[in-house]
Every structure is written in C-alpha cells, then in structure tokens.
C-alpha cells in the first residue's frame, strides 16, 4: 500500500537499512538505489546497498558506488544473509518480483525486516509490507524523488543525490523521448536543476564514455548481426558467446543495442537475444500498441513494461531464435496493422 505516513514512522529513528535492486543494474536501478541511500544516510540511518551482480563501469561515478557490495563477487554468502537478516528495513528498488535478484530473493522473502517496494514495472509480486509501486511512472528514480518529497525532505536532495536520480530518469525515458515522459517528469527535473545538478555531465558520463572496443562491437552488430523481417515489421539481433569474447564484451556493452533495431523506419517490434552461457537473455522493445510485456510473459518467462520488457530462455541460442521466429506469424496482424508501421515495398 502507498502509506507515506507508515514509512515516515518507520524512518523516524535511525535504522539498519538494506537496499537492493535487480540483476545487472542499469542507471535507474543503481541511481535510485544510491540516491535513496544518500538521502537515508543524511537522515542518520545505517545503510548498506547490495546488488545481485556487477554493473557497467559508466555508472561508477555515482556517489556511494565505492561502498556497494556486489553479491556475485562476495565470497562470503553468509555475510550478505546476515546483513539481510539484521536489517530493520529492506528497500527493494526497480524490480517487481523477488526472482529478479537471484538467490537473495528467498533470503529477503523470509527476512524479519519491513520490506518496502519502490518500482514502476507491471504486475508486482505481493511480497512487500509497504508498496510504492506505480507502473505509470517513467522510472523508479522518479518514485524515489516523490517519496523523499512526500516525506517532507526535498531540501535534503543535494547534487550527488539529484544526479543519481536524474541519471535514472534520463535513461529510462530514452533521454525524454519515450511516451512515459510526463509533465511530472519535467517538473521533477526542474526541481533537480534547482538542487544544482549538471545535466550535461551526467549525460556525458553515461553515453560518452565507452571503450574503443565497444564502439567496434557496435559496428559489427549493426553490419553483420541485424536482421530485418519486413513482413512482420520486426527486427532482431542474435549474439553468440564467441562474438562477445571476440570483442572483449563487458557488462553494459550490449545495453541499448536493441533500440538501434527499433529505430528502423517501419519497425514496431525489436529483440536482441544474447547467449550468456547458462541462459539466453532477451530484451524486447516496441512502439505503439504492441505489448512486449505480454509477449515476454507468455513466451519467455519475462515481463516489464508495455513497450520495453525482458525474457530468458534456457535453450541454446539457435533454438531460441527459431522459437522467436516461429511465434511471429501469430502476431503478424497486430504488427502489420500498427499505425506506426510502414508497408513493405512492392516487389
């Protein structure tokens, strides 16, 4: 339930607080976590941020990054379990079900602390004691700003906290291009500007700090791995483990590639399928009325937002790609009748 008074009472005295977010955190996941952590520390709480996995180097500038515990790198599983069990308050940010944080999910499910969910994904799992979930929000960072504001503490948002929150909102709105970019988003950005954030610096750190090898990898993907299926107004990219190794791919190097496929004129549905070893990780994007959230939930054990979702397959890459292709005829009518689609050229 959205009970800001209950949260205010919960935080009225210093607490042991545990914050976590989803596997392979992006800018919204990490930015909302570190922004909230910075605020809570200013309030006098003892805060620990734990991520299930590593995250891109281009997010390492965020204040508080140096204190983040990365669960996959932590050799002492008992230490993380102890932190969870000792926490009086557990904040779960930017994920809608506990399966998104891997092994930590069950530890948190059975932990005695009060669980607080702040998230903007569809169909959240009912595990939290306090739920500040809103699928209409553009980003979890937007919701974190609102929570801080509604607690009466907006004045405590300094440059570091503000730039973490701005990074989350900027990236999850596609630099304010996505339909989720509401009036409320712009009003929040105006307030963050009043706090002194530097918009261009945040943009540069995230979008203009990639390695030379990542740029060459991007060129390879667009030249050799992009497939366009005009009969379905669909484009997809499939990447093997060998190709990732060939370009020394690091965490974050594949982020955003699916958007290049979606940027093609007439394409309304795009996917990227990446062989990560034990599983194939899939990102789906769409424009208009086609719901990739429903597609991912129904066929690839995933979900997310209406126009942006993820999925997973435990089959090898080639059978997974074939399963994806075999599904497209079921959706052909939706895909070709979209008002955003362009009719294929006549032969």
Backbone φ, ψ for residue 51 (5° rounding): -105, 145
Answer for the pair 68, 52: CB distance below 8 angstroms, yes or no: no
pLDDT, tens only, 276-299: 988 999 999 999 999 999 999 999
In a domain, 89, yes or no: yes
In a domain, 234, yes or no: yes
Mean pLDDT within 49-60? 94
Catalogue the E-assigned strands of the chain: 16-21, 46-51, 69-70, 89-93, 114-119, 130-133, 226-229, 234-239, 269-275, 280-286, 303-304, 308-313
In a domain, 347, yes or no: no
CA dist., res. 35 & res. 31, Å (int) = 6
> Which DSSP string do the residues of 132-172 spell out, in sequence order?
EE-TTSS-HHHHHHHHHHHTT-GGG--HHHHHHHHHHHHHH
Residues 234, 147 share a domain = no
Residues 185, 254 share a domain = no
Confidence at residue 342, expressed as pLDDT on a 0 to 100 scale: 57
Q: Is the pLDDT of residue 16 over 70?
A: yes
CA dist., res. 91 & res. 85, Å (int) = 13
* Of 207, 223, 249, the domain-final residue: 207
Does the predicted model carry a pTM greater than 0.85? yes
In a domain, 69, yes or no: yes
The pairing of strands 234-239 and 114-119 is unpaired
Confidence at residue 203, expressed as pLDDT on a 0 to 100 scale: 95
Mean pLDDT within 38-42? 98
Residues 154, 39 share a domain = yes
Q: Is the pLDDT of residue 229 over 60?
A: yes
Residues 320, 249 share a domain = yes
Residues 291, 148 share a domain = no
Measure Cα distances from 310 to 283, 293, 323, 340 in Å.
4, 8, 16, 22
Q: What is the mean pLDDT of the chain?
A: 93
In a domain, 346, yes or no: no
CA dist., res. 315 & res. 117, Å (int) = 32
Q: Is the pLDDT of residue 29 over 60?
A: yes
Tokens in use for 252?
Answer: 């974050």
CA dist., res. 28 & res. 252, Å (int) = 13
Residues 131, 9 share a domain = yes
Q: Is the pLDDT of residue 345 over 60?
A: no
Residues 277, 130 share a domain = no
> Which DSSP string do the residues of 238-264 spell out, in sequence order?
EE-HHHHHHTT--TTTTTTHHHHHHTS
Question: How many domains does the chain contain in total?
Answer: 2
Confidence at residue 347, expressed as pLDDT on a 0 to 100 scale: 33
Name residues whose C-beta falls within 8 Å of residue 211's C-beta, 6 or more positions apart in sequence.
250, 253
* Of 165, 184, 207, the domain-final residue: 207
Q: Is the pLDDT of residue 107 over 50?
A: yes
Confidence at residue 151, expressed as pLDDT on a 0 to 100 scale: 97
In a domain, 19, yes or no: yes
Q: Which CATH number goes with the domain that contains 38?
A: 3.90.1640.10
Burial 15-40 (b: 16+ CB within 10 A, else e): bebbbbbbbbbbbbbbbbbbbbbbbb
Axis-axis angle for helices 159-172, 27-42 (nearest 10)? 160
Residues 22, 142 share a domain = yes
Residues 321, 231 share a domain = yes
- For residue 188, how many other CB atoms are within 10 A of its CB? 22
The pairing of strands 114-119 and 130-133 is parallel
* Of 178, 207, 236, the domain-final residue: 207
Q: Is the pLDDT of residue 209 over 80?
A: yes
Range of the domain at 229: 212-336
Residues 263, 319 share a domain = yes
Closest CA to 276 of 53, 98, 74, 95: 53
In a domain, 345, yes or no: no
Name the percent of the chain lying above pLDDT 70: 97
Residues 319, 190 share a domain = no
Closest CA to 170 of 200, 213, 127: 200
In a domain, 137, yes or no: yes
Mean pLDDT within 2-19? 96
Answer for the pair 64, 42: CB distance below 8 angstroms, yes or no: no
Answer for the pair 104, 71: CB distance below 8 angstroms, yes or no: yes
Q: Which CATH number goes with the domain that contains 216?
A: 3.10.310.30
Residues 284, 256 share a domain = yes
pLDDT, tens only, 55-90: 999 999 999 999 999 998 765 688 899 999 999 999
Closest CA to 81 of 54, 107, 114, 48: 107
Tokens in use for 86?
Answer: 């000792």
């Amino acid at each position: 339930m959205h009970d800001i008074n209950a949260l205010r009472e919960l935080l009225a005295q210093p607490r042991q607080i545990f914050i976590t977010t989803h596997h392979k955190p992006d800018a919204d996941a990490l930015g909302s976590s570190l922004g909230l952590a910075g605020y809570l520390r200013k309030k006098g709480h003892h805060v620990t941020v734990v991520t299930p996995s590593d995250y891109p180097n281009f997010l390492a500038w965020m204040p508080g990054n140096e204190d983040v515990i990365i669960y996959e790198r932590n050799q002492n599983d008992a230490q993380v379990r102890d932190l969870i069990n000792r926490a009086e308050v557990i904040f779960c940010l930017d994920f809608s079900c506990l399966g998104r944080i891997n092994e930590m999910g069950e530890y948190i499910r059975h932990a005695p602390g009060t669980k607080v969910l702040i998230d903007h994904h569809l169909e959240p799992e009912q595990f939290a004691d306090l739920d500040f979930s809103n699928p209409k929000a553009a980003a979890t960072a937007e919701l974190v700003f609102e929570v801080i504001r509604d607690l009466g503490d907006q004045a405590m948002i300094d440059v570091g906290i503000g730039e973490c929150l701005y990074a989350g909102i900027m990236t999850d709105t596609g630099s304010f291009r996505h339909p989720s970019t509401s009036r409320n988003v712009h009003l929040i950005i105006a307030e963050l500007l009043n706090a002194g954030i530097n918009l261009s610096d945040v943009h540069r750190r995230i979008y203009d700090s990639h390695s030379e090898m990542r740029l060459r990898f991007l060129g390879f993907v667009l030249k050799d791995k992009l497939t366009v299926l005009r009969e379905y107004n669909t484009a997809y990219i499939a990447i093997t483990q060998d190709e990732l190794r060939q370009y020394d791919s690091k965490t974050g190097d594949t982020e955003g590639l699916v958007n290049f496929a979606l940027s093609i004129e007439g394409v309304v549905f795009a996917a990227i399928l990446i062989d990560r070893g034990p599983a194939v990780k899939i990102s789906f994007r769409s424009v208009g009325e086609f719901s990739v959230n429903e597609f991912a939930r129904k066929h690839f054990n995933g979900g997310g937002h209406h126009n942006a979702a993820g999925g997973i397959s435990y089959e090898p890459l080639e059978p997974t790609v074939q399963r994806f292709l075999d599904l497209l005829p079921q959706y052909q009518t939706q895909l070709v009748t979209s008002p955003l689609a362009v009719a294929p050229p006549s032969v």
